[in-house]
Amino acid sequence: MTAHSPGTGRATAPGTRRALWPGRSGQAFVGAYTVLLVAFGVVPTGYAIYFAFTDGGGNFTVLSNFTEAVSDFRFASAVGHVALYLLWWLVSLVVLVVGLALLLHRLAATGVSRALRFLYYVPGALAGAASVMVWLFVLDPTVSPAGVLLRALGFHTFGEVIAPGHLPVLFTLIAFWTGAGGWIVVMYGALNNIPADILEAARIDGAGAWQTARRIQIPLLRKWIVYMVILAFAGGTQLFVEPQLLSQASVGVAGRDYSLNQLAYDFAFQNNDVNTAAAVSVELLVVGLVVAGVFVARSGFFDAD
């Protein structure tokens, strides 16, 4: 015999307790995230925007802080450095992450896949600063475990390895080592969501591994790839820890103003000009939002499959 909950018309079994607040766990998680988002995301962003459009006395300055930042002799070179790094970083991320995820998916039937997923993800457990400290040793031919390889490539000192022309590639290696493992796991999970009958039909039709990847798997990963690129672009524009620590370790070879975030840091803490530093931060925010909007609009990110 069943009873009906008042006002719902739904039958409930005798002895069961009706939830007083259905979905309360999910709402609690979302609520906690919202509080943290407002406290550490929305409020600081609003604070930075306020500083970017005012002077030290709180007077509205229109765009003078932005023009001062752009006219600084270090700004153009910092933009070029970040742009070159982003080119290396995004291309390597898309090609290698997708390629390694496809390889793991092919090896899913063996124990090798599980071990490789763990190994790929381990470097991501290191904080950014700790990761760079590890790489300071890796890049020094005199103490590096890869010293033989570095010397074979013609690098005999730490200064030769971190020459300014090598920095975009080096920062890409550091970023890939620390951040790619998590994305490989994400892409691998997305590949597991592709219905097995689709892959089986492709195999019956004579499609090889490359044709299956190019015509079925990669197109079905499109939204995940776009999502990865948006977040990687936003993170890449914030380049700071790597050049900052490398600059200190190399006595200025990388430069204190290599990236835009370093330039903002220099404005704020060396020149005591918080308003211009905030203007640089807001410029990075606007660029990130515009690029994300373009990717979302052109990729049909929110279109139903």
| pLDDT digits 0-9 by tens, 144-200 | 888 899 999 888 888 888 888 889 999 998 888 888 888 888 898 888 888 888 888
Least confident of 11-20, 38-47, 165-174, 268-277: 11-20
List the domain boundaries for the chain.
Answer: 26-62, 71-299
Give burial (CB, 10 Å; 0-12/13-18/19+) of 220: middle
Q: What is the pLDDT of residue 303?
A: 73
CB burial string 47-61: b at 16+ within 10 A, e below: ebeebbbbeeeeeeb
Structure tokens at 164: 């300014």
Q: Token pair 């009873």 is at which residue?
A: 3
Q: Which of 85-94, 124-133, 227-236, 260-269 has the lowest mean pLDDT?
A: 124-133
pLDDT of residue 214: 87
The pTM of this model reads 0.82
Q: Is the pLDDT of residue 8 over 60?
A: no
User: So what's the pLDDT on residue 7?
Assistant: 47
And the tokens for 54?
């005012």
Q: Model confidence at 57, in pLDDT bands (50, 70, 90)? A: confident
CA distance 88 to 175: 10
Residue 79 has pLDDT above 70, yes or no: yes
pLDDT cut 90: percent of the chain above it: 38
Instruction: Determine the pLDDT at residue 302.
Output: 76
Q: What is the mean pLDDT of residues 67-83?
A: 94
Q: Which class is domain 71-299?
A: mainly alpha
Give 17's pLDDT tier (boundaries 50, 70, 90).
low
Radius of gyration in angstroms for the set of CA atoms belonging to the chain, rounded to a whole number: 25
Residue 39 has pLDDT above 90, yes or no: yes
What pLDDT does 160 receive?
Answer: 87
Mean pLDDT value across residues 231-248? 88
Q: What would the mean pLDDT of 38-55 be, rounded to a whole number? A: 93
pLDDT at residue 92 greater than cutoff 90: yes
Cβ 90 vs Cβ 232: under 8 Å: yes
Pick the range with the lowest mean pLDDT from 110-119, 126-135, 206-215. 110-119
Task: Provide the residue type at 104 as one letter.
Answer: L
Specify the higher pLDDT residue, 11 or 42. 42
